[in-house]
Structure 1
Amino acid sequence: MLDDRAKLLLKALVERYIADGQPVGSRTLSKASGLDLSPATIRNVMADLEELGLIASPHTSAGRIPTTRGYRLFVDTMLTVQREGLQAPALTPDQPQKVIASAANLLSSLSQFVGVVMAPKRASVFRHIEFLRLSERRFLVIIVSPEGDVQNRILFTEIDYSQSQLIETSNYLNTHYAGMAIEQVRSRVQQELVSLQGEIAALMQAAVQVSSEALTEDHNEVVISGERNLLSVSDFSSDMGHLRRAFELFEQKTQLMRLLDVSSQAEGVRIYIGGESQIVPMQELSVVSSPYEVDGQVVGTLGVIGPTRMPYDRMIQIVNITSRLVSNALSQSK
């Protein structure tokens, strides 16, 4: 546990480093903290903070900088966020894709970092399904969504099926399961396998699996805006290795999907500080994220990605307000 004096000095050090980007010395810290302490006393407290792993001393400087652990303590216990004062234009109710793209741009322009938005999750529902025989044990599955989107998938089976079996299977699926979420269909098919013919049951299971993949793969889109903003951040522009790794993260998107998916399960704004876990693998990056809703249901996540040395109080405001704007725009455009 830190005493009040150590907390005040750590808070002042983190805030000064976020503002200037330079290691903080004891004289600067004395002025920034407003505490009437001798340089020797401040140096002793800084030595204690360093021993606790909250600050570190770069080789080239006598000053100190916050560590990941120091940022985390600052964010969790010392951060005060103004709830008013940030002005952001409303997002126009429109098609979800356009609202999401506008939100990513808004996050980027307000933060001057990278805006990222995970598109709304939709229920994986099919309206109609049918089979077309292509060759022996090779079939085309045609899946039509409620919105009229058509997906085609090739299905390979262990045994061959006759045209009458294909028709029987598609009729059964369309009669009993059309309009249901694919997860429900999979569960029901599993329960009803006993009453179905073995061959038809196997075909039905395979069809449900490829339908699930077809209906979900294009929904979890991540929209990213403002990657070039990192070029003007000194923490990245001075180290091409950091910059390259950041751009690789944006390009792959898989890691971002994982992060945003975790964020959607939490309430309110979450802060992920680089290097704390595998979710944000880069020590130089932090993510401030929040879920957004449609009609009271969480459907996606958005956030700001920037350097670990970011003004967290302002980022929290930006993410908070954008989350509300997206929720309003999507709820009105239904």
Structure 2
Amino acid sequence: MLDDRAKLLLKALVERYIADGQPVGSRTLSRASGLELSPATIRNVMADLEELGLIASPHTSAGRIPTARGYRLFVDTMLTVQRDELPAMLIMPEQPQKVIANAANLLSNLSQFVGVVMSPRRQSVFRHIEFLRLSEKRLLVIIVSPDGDVQNRVIFTQADYSQSQLVEAANFLNANYSGLAMEQVRERLQSEVEALQSEIGALMQAAVNVGTEALSDTADSVVISGERNLLSVSDFSSDMGNLRRAFDLFEQKTQILRLLENSSKAEGVRIFIGGESQVVPFEELSVVSAPYEVDGQIVGTLGVIGPTRMPYDKMIQIVDITSKLVSNALSHRS
């Protein structure tokens, strides 16, 4: 536990380092904190903070910088956010993917770092299905989603179906299962398939399997904007190794997806500080994220990726407001 004096000095040190990017010495800290303490007293407190792993000395300099643990304590207990300082910028309620791209650009432009948005998770729900015979044992499955998206898949079957059998199977699926998720259709078919002709039942099962894949394959994609902004951040521009690792992260996207997926399980803004977990794989990066909703249901996550030395108060505002704008744009879409 830190006493009030140590907390105030740590807060001043973090804020000064975020602003300047230079190790903070005891004299600078005395001025920044507003405390009338002797340099020796400040050095003693800094030694205590260093022993607790909250600050570190990067080299022989007398100054100190925050560690990931120090940033975490600052973010969790010392950060005050004025949420009305940032003007709300509108995202036009166009097609969902356009809203997502606009949101990534907005996050990047406002933060001057990297904006990331996970596309809305889609349930594999179908509104209409048709079968078209292409050749012997080769069919085209046409699946229409509730929002009018059309997916086509070719399947190969063990039996050869006549066009009348294909119409019969499609009519049965449309009449009994339209509007349900493919997973629900699969469960119900397993119990009801015995009442159907076995060959038609097998066709339906194959259609459901391919339909699940077809309607879900655009889910969980990530839109990333502003990677080049990191070129102007001294923490990266002065270290090509850091910059290369950051761009590798954006290229792979899988780790970002996993991070955003974790974020969607919690309400409100979350902050991941570099080095705290395997999700953010190195200490120079931090992520500020928040989930967004469609009609009250969380469907995705968005956020800002930048240097650990970022102005967290401003990033929280940007991410919080953008998540609300995206939620409104997607929920009010006709």
TM > 0.5 = yes
Look up the SS of the partner of 2:236 in the other structure. helix
Shift of residue 57, structure 1, vs aligned partner:
1.4
Work out the CA distance in 1 between the residues paired with 2:156 and 2:51.
61
Shift of residue 11, structure 1, vs aligned partner:
1.1
Moved more, 141-150 or 295-304: 141-150
Tell me what 2:275 maps to. Answer: 275
Tell me what 1:80 maps to. Answer: 80
TM-score normalised to the size of structure 1?
0.90
Work out the CA distance in 2 between the residues paired with 1:53 and 1:176.
62
Moved more, 275-284 or 188-197: 188-197
Instruction: Tell me whether 1:328 sits opposite 2:292 in the alignment.
Output: no
Contact 2:24 2:65 in 1 (8 A): yes
Q: How many residues align?
A: 333
Counterpart of 1:5 in structure 2: which amino acid? R
Look up the SS of the partner of 1:224 in the other structure. strand
Go from structure 1 to structure 2 and tell me whether the alpha carbon gap of 1:191 and 1:29 turns closer, same or farther (over 3 Å shift): farther
Counterpart of 2:250 in structure 1: which amino acid? F
Contact 2:137 2:161 in 1 (8 A): no
Counterpart of 2:187 in structure 1: which amino acid? S
Tell me what 1:47 maps to. Answer: 47
Moved more, 139-148 or 69-78: 139-148
Work out the CA distance in 2 between the residues paired with 1:232 and 1:25.
25
Work out the CA distance in 1 between the residues paired with 2:318 and 2:209.
40
Go from structure 1 to structure 2 and tell me whether the alpha carbon gap of 1:252 and 1:156 turns closer, same or farther (over 3 Å shift): farther
Cα deviation code 1:272-291 (max 9, x no counterpart): 11121122223211111111
Go from structure 1 to structure 2 and tell me whether the alpha carbon gap of 1:136 and 1:245 turns closer, same or farther (over 3 Å shift): farther
Shift of residue 196, structure 1, vs aligned partner:
4.7
Moved more, 226-235 or 208-217: 208-217
TM-score normalised to the size of structure 2?
0.90
Contact 2:159 2:199 in 1 (8 A): no
Contact 2:117 2:303 in 1 (8 A): yes
Work out the CA distance in 1 between the residues paired with 2:154 and 2:244.
38
Tell me what 1:13 maps to. Answer: 13
Cα deviation code 1:290-317 (max 9, x no counterpart): 1122332222221111111100000011
Tell me what 1:101 maps to. Answer: 101
Cα deviation code 1:222-244 (max 9, x no counterpart): 22211111110001111112112
Shift of residue 202, structure 1, vs aligned partner:
4.5
The residue correspondences of 1:198-277 to structure 2 (distance < 5 A) are: 200-277=200-277
Moved more, 273-282 or 88-97: 88-97
Determine what percentage of the aligned residue pairs are the same residue.
Answer: 79
Look up the SS of the partner of 1:303 in the other structure. strand
Moved more, 75-84 or 286-295: 286-295
Work out the CA distance in 2 between the residues paired with 1:242 and 1:156.
49
Tell me what 1:314 maps to. Answer: 314
Cα deviation code 1:15-40 (max 9, x no counterpart): 11111111112222222122222222
Work out the CA distance in 2 between the residues paired with 1:240 and 1:202.
56
Shift of residue 168, structure 1, vs aligned partner:
4.8
Work out the CA distance in 1 between the residues paired with 2:197 and 2:73.
61
Contact 2:304 2:319 in 1 (8 A): yes
Shift of residue 198, structure 1, vs aligned partner:
5.4
Work out the CA distance in 2 between the residues paired with 1:280 and 1:104.
19
Moved more, 182-191 or 48-57: 182-191
Counterpart of 1:185 in structure 2: which amino acid? V
Go from structure 1 to structure 2 and tell me whether the alpha carbon gap of 1:92 and 1:7 turns closer, same or farther (over 3 Å shift): same
Q: Which runs of 5+ in 1 are unaligned?
A: none
Shift of residue 135, structure 1, vs aligned partner:
6.5
Look up the SS of the partner of 1:29 in the other structure. helix
Look up the SS of the partner of 2:205 in the other structure. helix
Look up the SS of the partner of 1:301 in the other structure. strand
Look up the SS of the partner of 1:102 in the other structure. helix
Counterpart of 1:149 in structure 2: which amino acid? D
Q: Which runs of 5+ in 2 are unaligned?
A: none
Instruction: Tell me whether 1:290 sits opposite 2:262 in the alignment.
Output: no
